Amino acid sequence: MPRVLNMYENYPLWQTFFTKLGIRAELSPKGSQKQYEKGMETIPSDTVCYPAKQVHGHIQALIDRGCKRIFYPAVVYEVNEDKTAQNHFNCPIVQSYPAVIANNVDEIVNGSVDYRSPYLNLADRKGTAKNLYECFKDLGVTKAEVAEALDAGFAELEHFKQVTRDRGEDTLRMIQETGEHGIVLAGRPYHLDPEVNHGISQLMTAEGFHVLTEDSIAHLGDVKGLRVVNQWMYHSRLYAAAEIAAKFPQLEFVQLNSFGCGIDAIDSDQIEEIMTQHNRLYTCLKIDEGTNMGAIRIRLRSLKAAVRERETRRIRPQVLAEAPAPVNYTPQMQQQGYTLLLPMMSPIHQQGLVDVALQASGYNVVNLPADDRAAVDVGQRFVNNDACYPAIISIGQMLEALQSGKYDLNKTAVMMTQTGGGCRATNYIPLIRKALADAGFPQIPVVSLSLGNQGVEETPGFSFTLHC
């Protein structure tokens, strides 16, 4: 079994699972530049994040060792650690990358390596056991053995998590007693790989900070009133850890972000808001292939100087502002004849079909022009530059229309589809709200056009029925 980057978090589960089944499991080596170069030829896209590119080297390292069977599961849903979250998706790149490997590594494509990548929902233990049995039944294992091994794996995973939480609480107590400072270093599970994190935690300790991971204290947080849809399990821990760091005067929050991670455009904005609302600093370190840590050292020393300055000036954590409540589109607004601005996402389907159907249902819908370069420029001013291009251009269309003076801002709303899936598209609605507030239009309601999937919003003043 390869120790691929996205499996660090669940490693105790799989190690115990295979041991209980009597299957010898071998891990790929820790990441290195040499190992990364081994897999470079099979990387199909240069725009994917560096951790994803690293997977190719891990797979190739196992093949070079003579491994004839490789297990790399596609984990769509993680264990649901936060019951208040709207969902518990894995990262879309992580959950789909086993398919990328399956179609781009020659030894797997030609069948010389037995490659197994079942799709798993770790929040559904019964379904996971069934899929794993189907994956390994040719090895002579029974359904009961797989279920028992999986239970043992989950028990070991929970033990591992509890040990991590205990260490986090111990460190917090020590910091409180000594008056020393710590940093919550929030990185994804793959940031544990030394080739990905570049030893940043050691740089922090060299500056005199204690370092805690986000999963060591996230269980102490209670996140409420988020602007975003809390739908990725890793992000749930980030938000909870940020809430703790924001209230704890001797903790700072530093987030590692690998270039190319589009969903971090969602969580980084939200974390910055959590910290700012509590009068705290937020630091995001963007890292990738580069190994020159000079800029990182400067950022950390600047953070250290800022901490000293804030101590000297006795600046303490305090709630400066509560998260604003979203402006809902109400039935009263519909009765008043509000104009609904709809960005042009698909001219073939939207113009003359969707808009006509909505107009026939009593909604005053206006399609915004699609061929408009100025809208891109506006979107880039008010949308995180790591967000995807469709978000930038569609939000830019809305803002440009609101700035044009063509519409009564007291009787205008904007509309966007919301899927409820694991893509960033579910969070377009929160992205729109932030852009509206930053552009000076906080009063504009946002209408969610959806089919009611998990994680989507309800819009009191907008409803429709599908008739077949």
Is 320 part of a structural domain of the chain?
no
Instruction: State pTM to two decimals.
Output: 0.92
Instruction: For residues 22 and 313, give the distance between their C-alpha atoms in angstroms, rounded to a whole number.
Output: 61
pLDDT for 260: 67
**Per-residue confidence at 1, pLDDT binned at 50, 70, 90?**
very low
Say if residue 360 is in the same domain as residue 289.
Answer: no
Is 223 part of a structural domain of the chain?
yes
Say if residue 151 is in the same domain as residue 9.
Answer: yes
In 3D space, the residue among 313, 345, 331 whose CA is nearest the CA of residue 416 turns out to be 345
Is 455 part of a structural domain of the chain?
no
Instruction: For residues 241 and 172, give the distance between their C-alpha atoms in angstroms, rounded to a whole number.
Output: 12
Say if residue 274 is in the same domain as residue 141.
Answer: no
pLDDT digits (tens, 9 = 90+) for 128-167: 999 999 999 999 999 999 999 999 999 999 999 999 999 9
Where does a domain end: 135, 157, 179?
157
pLDDT for 4: 27
Is 263 within 8 Å of 285 (Cβ atoms)?
A: no
pLDDT at 219 over 60: yes
Q: Match 């894995």 to its residue by tokens.
A: 90
pLDDT at 372 over 90: no
Is 458 part of a structural domain of the chain?
no
Where does a domain end: 109, 135, 157?
157
Where does a domain end: 114, 131, 157?
157
Q: In Å, how far are 26, 36, 190 from 58, measured between CA atoms?
A: 12, 8, 12
Say if residue 300 is in the same domain as residue 392.
Answer: no
Residue 209, domain CATH: 3.40.50
Segment among 85-94, 154-163, 330-339, 458-467 with least mean pLDDT? 458-467
How wide is the angle at C-alpha 70 spanned by C-alphas 67 and 75, nearest 5°? 160
Say if residue 307 is in the same domain as residue 344.
Answer: no
pLDDT for 3: 24
Say if residue 256 is in the same domain as residue 400.
Answer: no
Collapsing DSSP states into helix, strand and coil, what is residue 71? strand
Amino acid type, 71: F
Say if residue 17 is in the same domain as residue 130.
Answer: yes
Evaluated on CA atoms 155, 157, 160, 164, the torsion sign reads negative
Is 461 part of a structural domain of the chain?
no
Is 459 part of a structural domain of the chain?
no
Alpha carbon 421 to its chain centroid, in Å, reads 13
Amino acid type, 179: G
Say if residue 148 is in the same domain as residue 202.
Answer: no
Say if residue 234 is in the same domain as residue 146.
Answer: no
Mean pLDDT of the chain: 91
Say if residue 306 is in the same domain as residue 379.
Answer: no
**Per-residue confidence at 465, pLDDT binned at 50, 70, 90?**
low
Collapsing DSSP states into helix, strand and coil, what is residue 283? strand
pLDDT digits (tens, 9 = 90+) for 265-305: 999 999 999 999 999 999 999 998 777 889 999 999 999 99
In 3D space, the residue among 377, 4, 347 whose CA is nearest the CA of residue 196 turns out to be 4
Is 430 part of a structural domain of the chain?
yes
How buried is 190 (Cβ within 10 angstroms: 0-12 exposed, 13-18 middle, 19+ buried)? buried
Mean pLDDT of 187-209: 91
Residue range(s) defining the domain that contains residue 265: 164-312
Is 40 part of a structural domain of the chain?
yes
Total structural domains within the chain: 3
**Per-residue confidence at 192, pLDDT binned at 50, 70, 90?**
confident
Say if residue 188 is in the same domain as residue 145.
Answer: no
pLDDT digits (tens, 9 = 90+) for 390-399: 999 999 999 9
Is 11 within 8 Å of 3 (Cβ atoms)?
A: yes
Instruction: For residues 267 and 238, give the distance between their C-alpha atoms in angstroms, rounded to a whole number.
Output: 8
Element (H, E) at 175: helix 143-178
Number of H helices, E strands in the chain: 18, 12
DSSP bridge partners of 340: 365, 413
pLDDT for 5: 29
Say if residue 138 is in the same domain as residue 182.
Answer: no
